Structure formats: structure tokens, C-alpha cells
Structure 1
């Protein structure tokens, strides 16, 4: 029989030597059995097992490979109880090359089945295209990896030992298929991990449980991919993150949890990311442990969920810098999960963070904090893009935990945000802000107000001391702001807004359009509410406001102020920070028990060219030292004889009461504010002052000679009283041609008129002067060339010109 085999396969097998050693020198082109009788075999060339050919190796056969030689299996290799080793007398790792299962570029699909076999002293076994089955076998003393699996390869391994390799026992260069049982022994190698050295899973990839962890680099499950992880699997990430864009099913058990961890040789790992394209119903984490995500960057967490709704059940988040981010339109389900404290102990940290698009329920979950953590749920900066709701959020061990707002949350103009009664929002920074360009609805109750305050405010929240540092001092306006700008009616009611405003130059609340702020407490701020358009401020209380409870940006609109109160405020009045270029009307408003409360101006306010500010009868405007109007457009201030428009000092308590809220501690004086400046672009037809009073102006700090400067334009001044100034009443310059009628100039610091000789004012009858240091027309210095006209003023015919400037 032996002679027959040799005759039949003489092209392949050659018997040599006294002890019947058989050389294998040519490719297998027909089915062949390697028998014990011809063993040992020596592979002296690189050998292919061709497609369609089966080579069977009998039990007890030994196949020796000369240096660098290999088997490449395009057909089938079946071996039971065989040994594949080196032909060297003194064995060494990597002496021979490998067993290859086909080739990636080949059309052939190879099959290698090794049962009760030993493969030793090779470089690798490569499963490139086809199936490698290892059962009860031993892979020993390899110079490279134990088994390398490529994208088109399948490794089925059970009851097998891989040891003494110079690298990982199993190495995947692509998302091939792994099958196996947990009865293998894969330890005793230079790196005892299953190394997944590829990035993308675009099909189905299974991670069976082995006795060693998996090592992953940058690892992504694509939109078409599915990752199935068996109970007990450990994944060790190496300087990377795991991103799920498709499906993941990580179903551990209570006794065999799935562990997501950092590789011990890694500097960091960046956690797990669930992206918006992930398939919600097919993203499942059960009995998982997510740990050691400690990258020192605020943007990275152990588990980041963005625009997705995976399921987490009985999962433990532990030993992480930050445990959880949930952003975008997300509704993840958490059941019986535990969030352990942050590992950051040298500075501020946080445990769980969401943005206001997300909708979560932690009622069956528990959370713990270290001594440095913000003991609240962080609100991340975001734009709300749909209908969102910020609700009272409770953990099993903390009811209605506080939120901590970082930076700005913006409600998009097509979106809405509802904030439930009892919600507590604490601002981490002074620049924290909620900006509603869409609809904001926050209706608290008297028993459950909505709280918007500073993180250090220990009067509110659960736990009260969110920073765990005792009661800290808080400066007024050191917390965040609320801005309500949307076209659809927004409403906030029964809020406590404390310490709001960013700094002393900003406001706690901004509100425009027809939006409503009702029954809110604005407290401990430099400035309260800034409003414009048709804003509605109803029954609000302003407490401990350093400067202004209200500020109105004057534009077209009819704001509503009803039932508001003040206590311990700097000024009782409505501050005007600016004037819009839409030709607005300034009307009387009642505030804080004051009928027709004063408007307050602290610096220059410019009326732009082409713009007309109309001031209704009865309006009172009070100015600080540098306060003035610069009119490049027009002011149309037409009062009534019995309801005049008053422009005066902020110290003048006789008009609209004690605006600086200091009782009789201060009194007005000449020169408390500057005045009016009309420029050459000012309208000649719209500028009218009628039935008005200007008191206590002519501030020395602003270089001027008169209360009202008129340059190269026309102003109609009728029935106007200018009283108490240390300057002239009117300054008329260039080609100015104002018309002054029925006006009164009292208690001036100089002559009633300061003018250029050839300006062209019209002084009608019935103007009056009294208590002046001198009566005449004071001429501004300069070159005069022409005929000096005779003028009459205030009953003085051919009134005197006074020249005292060169």
C-alpha cells in the first residue's frame, strides 16, 4: 500500500533517509492523506493546497517546516492529533512561516480544521479568507501573533491554548468573524489580549467571551454595523473611543457583566459615544460596567449619548472623571443604574450632564458625589431645536436634584422649552444664560416656584450646598441671565431670579415682543429687567437692586407694567439704555406705585438721522451728569399746558418723585446734566419742543455754552421753560434758524442766548426772562463780516449784543 501511495503522488511526496522521512516539495493538486506511516513529513518548499483539494492529516503525524516555509490552504486542511513544528534540531520561535487560510485577493475560500493538534515555533497562523477551526489544540512559541484574522476570515476556537507568543494570541486586522467558547487558555503571551486592530464594523461582528480581554483602538460601529457582545466580555480601549453609529447589543448578566475599561498600557480612553444615527431599539446595555474613562478634557465622558435613545439596565459607571453626557433629542432609558463619584478630586468635576433637548428619567438609579463635585446635573450649552421640557429630575437617593447651567442654552425660533414647577437651576458662571428665540414657558407656583440662581446659593436646591463648601459669599449680578425674545408668546411666572446679570452693566432678565414676566422675584442684582416692544411685566418684585429695577430700550411698541413693586433699589425709574431707529414713541408708564415714573438717562443718547423720537405729554426724563440728547434726526416733544414734558436732573424729587431713592439726602443744582445738541442733519420740520421744561442742565463736564445747542438746523421751541442752569439757555450756531415762542428763561448762569452773529433765529413775542446775571445776546467769538442785524428778544427791543470772545 505504501508503494501505491508513493507512485500515485510522486510529484508531491518523496521518501528519504533510513527512517522514511517524507519531504513535501510541491503543491497539493489532488485529495491527499498524510499518514502516520510516512511521518514525519518535512515541508521544504512553500506549499499550496489548491482550491477543491482536501488534505487530511492522520492522528500522530508530525509535519516539520524548513525555515520560512508555509502551508497556504485554498482548499481544505483537516488534521486531528497532529503536530506542526520546525525542522530545526534546536527549535526557535518563528523558525517557519505560517499556515495561511487562503488569501484576501483570492477567489478561493479556505478551510483549516485542527483538532487536538499542536502548532509551534511558527511566526503566525493567518485566517485571511475562509474558516480556521481550532479545537483542543495548542499554539505555542510563535514569534508574532498566535492567530491573525482578516476581514473575510472566521476563527472558531474552543478548548484551545495559545501561549508563549511574542505578541497577542489573537489579532484581527479587520472585522472578521469570531466564534468560540470560554474554555480556551489564551494567557502566557507577551500581550494577553484579543487585539482588534481595525476601525469600522459595517456588518455583524460578534465578541464572544474568552479568558482574556479585547484590546481596541479607534473603534466605530457604522450605520450598517451591529456589534454583539457576549456576557463577561472585557473591552480595553487604548488611547481611543468607541463610537456607535449603528447597533450594539451588550447584554451582560449579573454574574458576568460586560466591562468597558481602559487598557493598562494606555494613557487614556475617551469613553463610548452613541451618535444620532444609532438604531435606538438595537442599542442595549445590560449589566455593563463602564470605568476608568479619565481623559483630562471636559468634553469627554464615559458615556456620551447624542441624539439617540439607547437602553441601560443594571449598569455601573465607576472610576470615571465624568460619567454621562446626554445631548440632542435623546430619550435614553436608565433602569437600576449606578453613577459613582468622579475621580477628579483636585478640582471641580461633575457626574452627569445633559442639554435641554434631552428627556431622561433617573428615578430608579442612584448617584454619588465626591467632596469636590458639583452636586447637581450639569446643563450643557446647546440649541433647543424641537419641543423640549426641563422637568424635576430625581434619582433614587436624591429627589428633585438641582440643575447647574453652564454657558448658554438657546431656544431656536421654531422650538419651545417648557420648564416645570419646582425646577431649580443654578448658574455655574456669570455668563450662564437661557436665550429664548422661540417659546419659553415656565409657570411655577407659589409653593413650587422655579429657581434661577447662583451655584453658591445654598438657600435652594437638593442638596442645598451644591458645591459642598458651606455658604459662600455671592456678589450681586454674579450669576446668569434670561433673555426672552421669541415671536410666539413666552411666559415665565413665579420664578425666583437671584444674583442675575453677568456683571453690573447687564440685566438679570431681557424681554421683548409681547412676552410676559409675571409674579417673579428679581433679587440681588445691579439691574433687573431690560424690556422693549410690547413686553408685559406684571406683579413682579424687585429686591436689593443696586441700580435700576427696569431698563427700557425705546422702540415702537406699547409695553405693559402692572403691579410691580420695589424694595431696597438704587433708583426708582426706568433706565433708557438706547433708542431704536424706528421712530418710536416714549409714553408715560406707572411703576412701583409711582404714576408716570421717571425715565433715567446716564450718558449721551443719539437720535439718528431720519429717526424721530416722539415724547408724549407728561413724560419725565431725568439725566445724570453726562446725560444729554444728540439729535441728528428729530425729537418731537409736544406736551400739554397742564401736562408738560419734563427734562430734569436725577436729583430733582419734584418731578416723578425720589428717583435716586435717597430721601432728602441730595438736592438738584445748576449743571446737573448737559442738555440737547441739534446737529446739521437734524430735521427742519420734525424738531419741536412745546410745553416742555428743562431744569438743572448745562453740565460743565461736557464742553458747552448753553442748555440747547442748535447748529445748522431749525427747531421750533414753543412754551418751553429753561430753568436753573449755569449756562445760557440757547446756543444758536452756523445757519441755524430756530423759532422761539412763548418761552421762559429763568435762573440762568449767563445771558439767555449764545449765538453766532449771523445765525438766523426767529424770536417771537411773549418770551420771558428772569433772574439772569445779564440780559443780551452773547455772541460767539470769530470773524464777523456783514451788517449786524437789529434784534428784539423777551420784550427787549434792539437788544444788546454782548461780545467777550475774540
Structure 2
């Protein structure tokens, strides 16, 4: 019995020892599972002190930025502290009256403290009131205060972060012929700023009047850049509150200059002629990746240089903050192979007549908008290639059209667009192979209530997948191909809310792909909804007419001579406003096809109210001459059952 008790005690002792070991093991495991206070998910701390570089005095109110946003402000004793996720940062520090200091590639470790002490360099104010003669570099530890008109006859290099303020009415003239050149290359963190001396946000209260004045548009005048091929550079620059000289511009590029303006911000300026006025600039001009907002007109260009889609015409921080006239003014004729790609705002043509001479071209990228003012026309002796897409069509419309590109004329709803607001596009030149693909044309045809597009003698233009809406086309149809060449292509277009939609000649075949009503509202068609055939051409070649939605309308004698033919698809209707067809007996093909009719222009029963008079006229025998078989011997007038209201066979 005693042995059994001793054995049981030993077993219990061993069990207790085992339990103790297990408790220790599980305890260690539990401790190992606790969160490491210095783990990768924990923030790091950045702290330090901000002092004056020369005196060591603490600076209160300095702003520390992590490269994307402000994260701290120095307090009592110039100290600051903040937490931030672990990573690599570029920190900056600035305070009123001091230069920006940059600390790049700073490693912040999780759960650790990183010490960064900033020593800020004070800014000096240097008054500039005389011309610049010798080459000079302006540094970012100064504010340069411009007083009066300053002529620059040499190379002025401006360091990143430099601040230049202009007194009221002050301006620069860069005299390229005398060697004047500006090299102003800032950076994302340290832009070069050109602003008003009333602007306390940049460099503090430079005019020393507290908050008695605020900066406004036009406080200072402008920067004029002169000289052939002047290759001045403005990169990462900011231009504020200029344009005071007759409210015209803040930057003017003189004839034949080749200035590069990139990554700049142009805001709060006047600009009746464009805050950046490059209307006379040379072909080497570069305007890319700039931001324009809160100007009158942001930009004025000519047609000597390309413009891509990189510029922005609103405040990136406030999308609704745009320009008064949010568009790109265009002046002058085209010179070179020009491409327009900007899609945020329209190109605005106001000058009257624009010319693309032979050997020159304009290409419009998908999504481009062109607004044309009253009486504007575009003459294409060179080439125009307008390549929209279904999702991003190119649009030609009225300057008053607020539904495209917004209220560009900045009159709220005082004016509205109407047919004939602008004139036309005239395409000339034998075998001119210009093209319009997925292009929309609104409110054209102002020249004698005529065409919106005119294809001149023997052109070979491609017009496909386009829309012609709210144009005039009363005297001559909206798309006038009356003299166009045999290689003209008119396929897949939509016409509605015009007077007359289309005019062709006898050398052009036409399939059934075009539409003569609004696809979303079929009741919207054209007033005189037909395809009009020119009286100047006979049938030339083996031509086929297949359109059945609307009739073909002839107003004069149409000859189909030997070796030529006209083939009609089933259900094609030909209406005659006078005139006749003369054929050779075998070259008017499918004249007796199902649904084919030859009838009067006044006949509303066949093909609808083509003459657009709402039934005020009725058809009668003798409305047109008839169909004459000139190949028979003897010749005679046909008496087919599908001939109605002619003169000779009834």
C-alpha cells in the first residue's frame, strides 16, 4: 500500500513538472506573438529644429512638407515633430522671408526617430531698375524687384526657386538681336515665380504695406521676347497677375522666336489676346505640359507649330476654376505639317479666312474641337486630315455653341448657336485627298446660306462616318460635291436638321450607307430631304446609285453616253425639277427594278415631301420632260409605268 502511494505521488509530481514546462512554453509563444513595437506597420517619427542659417535664431511658423503635403509647423523654440509611415522621403522647409531648403532621400524607419534640423537662408530684396547688359545669374537667396521697363541685352540665367516680383506697370523686353536670352529652369519643388509685388503669398510683404493691397490681374505688364530664333527657356515657372499693358498678355513671343515654355503655370493674368501670346512665334516654339487658369484668354497660337494634348486649362486643385474664355485662339495661315491634339478646350478661329496653302497640312487628332466665329471660312489648298473616332469625334461648330467645349465666348446664355454662324470649308486642288473621318459639323453654311463643305473640281476627298447637323444648305446643299472627282468617297454619314443635305455629280457612285435622319429621333430629318444631282455633269463611268431612304433630285438634262452607265438599286427614286434623262437604250440598268420610280419633285407620295413645302404644291403632268432613248432608231421617249408626271408620254 505504501509503495502504491509513493508511486502515485511520483506520477503527480511528474505531471506538475510537465504542466509547468507547458505553461512556460505557451507563455513564450504568447509573448512571441505580441506586436513588435518597432514592426514594419508602425510609423516613424521625424523631429528637429528650424533655425536661421547665419544667426542660429529659432524660426517659428516654418512649414515642413513631405513632398506631397504639409505635415508640420515649427512651434516654440523652432521645434517640430510628426509621425509618418516608414519610407524614403524628400522633405522641404520654408518660412516667410526665407529660401526653401530641401532634404532629399531621407530614410524614415518604423518605430524610430529621425532627426532633421533645417537651417534656412534669409532672402534679400534686390531692386532692378536698369537694363541688363552683361551675362548674369540670379539666385534663389534673393527677391528681385523689377521697377519700370527693363531691357535684357545678354543671357540672364535664373536658378530654381528664384522669386521675381514686378512693380505696377513693370515689364521686360528680351532683345534677342542684341544677345538677350532667358534661361529660367526651375523644378517641381523649386519653381521660378514671376508675380506682382502686391503678392504676399510669395516671398512675403515685399511692398511693406501689410495687407493694405492685394494682387490682381494686370498689376504688372509683360515679358516680351524678341529676335529671330530666340531660344529662351521657361521650365517649371509660374506667372501671376501680369498682363497690364492694354490687358493683352503676360508673355509675348515675337515673330520667328523659338521659345520653349514647359511645365509652367500661368494664372490670374489678363489676356484679351491670350495670357501666353504666341500668335507670331516661329515654328520652333514649344508649349507643353503647362497649366492655365483664371486668365481672360489662356493661349493664342498661330498655325506654324504643333500643339499636343499635354497642357491643362483648369486649376488642378479646383476643376471648376478655368479661364474666362476657355479656348485656344488661332491666328494666321498654316505653314508646315501641323498637328493639333489638344482636347480639353476648343481651338477658336475668329479671323475671317484661314488658308492651308499647297504643300502644307493640318491633322486633327481624335477629340479635337474647333469653334468658328461669324463669317469664318477655311480654305484647303494643301491637305486636311481629320481623324476622329466613334468615341472621340472631331467637332467643327459655332463659337456660340456652349454644348461643345463649354461657354467659350463667356456670355453665359446671352447668345445661342444658329445655322450659318460660320461659313464653310473649301477644299481645292486636283486629286486633293483630304479626309474627314468621324467628324461632326454644326451651324455652318453662313455664306449666302450655302454649303458647309465644298469639294472643288476633281478633288478626291474622303468623307466617312461624319455628321452634318444644324447647318444651312439652303442655296447649295451642306456637303457640296457638285464638282468633285470620281474618287470622292461619301460613306456612312448622317445628315439632319439641315435644308438640303447633299449634292453630287454624275461621276460619283453612292451606296446606301448614309442616313438622312437623327438616329435617336427619326422625326428629325432635313427640310428638303434628298440627294441633289449637279446639272453640270453627265454620267461618267459605270456609276451606281443605291440610296433608298431619300430620292435623288435632278433639275436638268442628264446624259448617259455610250461606254458609261447608271445602275439603280431596287427602291431607288429619282425626282425631277424639270430636266430629263437621255440614255442609249441599255445603259440605264435596273430602270424597272422593284420600287424604282421616276417622278416629279413635287410628288410627296413617293419619297416624301422632298421640296419641303408641306404639300403647298402638287405634281402634274409636264413637271419634267421624261426619259429619252437616244440609242434607238428612231429615238423616242420612254413610256414605262414607273414614269410619273413627265411631259411626253402621258
- Same fold? TM cut 0.5: yes
| Mapped pair 1:242 → 2:195 | no
Distance 1:364 1:420, change over 3 A: closer
Distance 1:650 1:667, change over 3 A: same
Question: Which of 297, 300, 309 is the aligned partner of 1:353?
Answer: 300
Structure 1 match to 2:465: 519
SS in 2 for 1:353: strand
Structure 1 match to 2:424: 481
The CA deviation string for residues 93-125 of structure 1, in whole angstroms up to 9 with x for no partner, is xxxxxxxxxxxxxxxxxxxxxxxxxxxxxxxxx
Distance 1:488 1:207, change over 3 A: same
Distance 1:420 1:594, change over 3 A: same
SS in 2 for 1:561: coil
SS in 2 for 1:350: coil
SS in 1 for 2:545: coil
Structure 2 match to 1:53: none
Question: Which of 146, 151, 154 is the aligned partner of 1:213?
Answer: 146
Question: Which of 656, 660, 667 is the aligned partner of 2:611?
Answer: 660
Partners of 1:375 and 1:468 within 8 A in 2: no
| Mapped pair 1:561 → 2:561 | no
Deviation at 1:543, TM superposition (A): 0.7
Question: Which of 368, 381, 385 is the aligned partner of 1:437?
Answer: 381
Question: For the residues of structure 2 that align with 1:436 and 1:691, how far apart are their CA atoms?
Answer: 42
Partners of 2:185 and 2:233 within 8 A in 1: no
Deviation at 1:519, TM superposition (A): 1.1
Deviation at 1:549, TM superposition (A): 0.8
Deviation at 1:468, TM superposition (A): 6.5
Question: For the residues of structure 2 that align with 1:668 and 1:476, how far apart are their CA atoms?
Answer: 30
Distance 1:621 1:545, change over 3 A: same
Structure 1 match to 2:494: 541
Higher helix content, 1 or 2: 2
SS in 2 for 1:293: coil
SS in 1 for 2:507: coil
Deviation at 1:518, TM superposition (A): 0.3
Question: Which of 233, 239, 244 is the aligned partner of 1:294?
Answer: 244
Deviation at 1:522, TM superposition (A): 0.7
The CA deviation string for residues 296-341 of structure 1, in whole angstroms up to 9 with x for no partner, is 476x553447652414445444332331134453552555x55342
Number of positions where the alignment pairs a residue of Structure 1 with one of Structure 2:
451
SS in 1 for 2:451: coil
SS in 1 for 2:548: coil
Deviation at 1:376, TM superposition (A): 3.0
Question: For the residues of structure 2 that align with 1:669 and 1:373, how far apart are their CA atoms?
Answer: 60
Question: Which of 391, 410, 424 is the aligned partner of 1:447?
Answer: 391
Structure 2 match to 1:324: 276
Deviation at 1:540, TM superposition (A): 1.0
Deviation at 1:523, TM superposition (A): 0.9
Higher strand content, 1 or 2: 1
Question: For the residues of structure 2 that align with 1:403 and 1:533, how far apart are their CA atoms?
Answer: 31
The CA deviation string for residues 485-537 of structure 1, in whole angstroms up to 9 with x for no partner, is 35452221112222222256221222341110001111111222011223221
Structure 2 match to 1:510: 454
Structure 1 match to 2:479: 529
Question: For the residues of structure 1 that align with 2:146 and 2:468, how far apart are their CA atoms?
Answer: 57
Deviation at 1:545, TM superposition (A): 1.3
| Mapped pair 1:597 → 2:549 | no
Structure 2 match to 1:417: 362
Deviation at 1:542, TM superposition (A): 0.7
Structure 2 match to 1:701: none
| Mapped pair 1:469 → 2:412 | yes
SS in 1 for 2:498: strand
Partners of 1:454 and 1:480 within 8 A in 2: no
TM-score normalised by the chain length of structure 2? 0.55
Distance 1:319 1:769, change over 3 A: closer
RCO comparison, higher one (Cα < 8 Å, 6+): 2
Question: For the residues of structure 1 that align with 2:414 and 2:124, how far apart are their CA atoms?
Answer: 58
RMSD (CA atoms): 5.1
| Mapped pair 1:651 → 2:582 | no
Deviation at 1:588, TM superposition (A): 6.7
SS in 2 for 1:545: coil
Question: For the residues of structure 1 that align with 2:553 and 2:324, how far apart are their CA atoms?
Answer: 44
Question: For the residues of structure 1 that align with 2:649 and 2:264, how far apart are their CA atoms?
Answer: 89
TM-score normalised by the chain length of structure 1? 0.46
Q: Give 5+ residue unaligned stretches, structure 2.
A: 1-121, 199-206, 208-217, 518-524, 569-573, 592-596, 640-645
Question: How do 1:345-384 residues align onto structure 2 when only pairs under 5 Å count?
Answer: 349-356=296-303, 357-363=305-311, 366-367=314-315, 375-384=325-334
